Chains A and B, each alone.
Chain A
Amino acid sequence: MKMKSKVACFKGNNIKECTRKSIELLGGIGKFIKNGETVFIKPNLMAQFYSPYIVDADVIRVVVEQCYNAGAKKVYVGDNPMVDIESKEVLEYTGYKDYLEDAGAEIVLLDENRYVKVYSGNAKCFKEFSLPEKLIKSDKYINIAKMKTHVLTGVTLCMKNQQGLLQPDDKIICHDYRLSQKFVDMALFRKPNLCVVDAFHCLEGYGPMFGDLKKLNCVLASNDIISIDHCCSKMMGFDPLEIKTTRLGYEQGIGNIKYDYIGPRITESFKKPWFNIPKKLGNIRFYSQIPDKGSENILKLSLSLFIAYSETFKYEFNKLKDLAVVYGGLNSKIKAHTALLFGDMAIKSRNMVKAKHFIEFKGNPPAHWLKVIQQLAKTFNLNIIGFMASALEE
Chain B
Amino acid sequence: MLNNIVALLDSGVAASTNSYESIATVSFTTNTAGITFSSIPSTYKHLQIRFMVKSQAATNDFSMYFNNVSSGGLYAFHNLAGNGASASASAYTTQNYAQLINDFNTSFPSGSVMSGVIDLLDYQNTNKYKTTRTLLGTDQNGAGFIKLNSAMYQSTSAISQIDFYNGYNWASGSFALYGVKG
Do the two chains belong together in a single complex? no
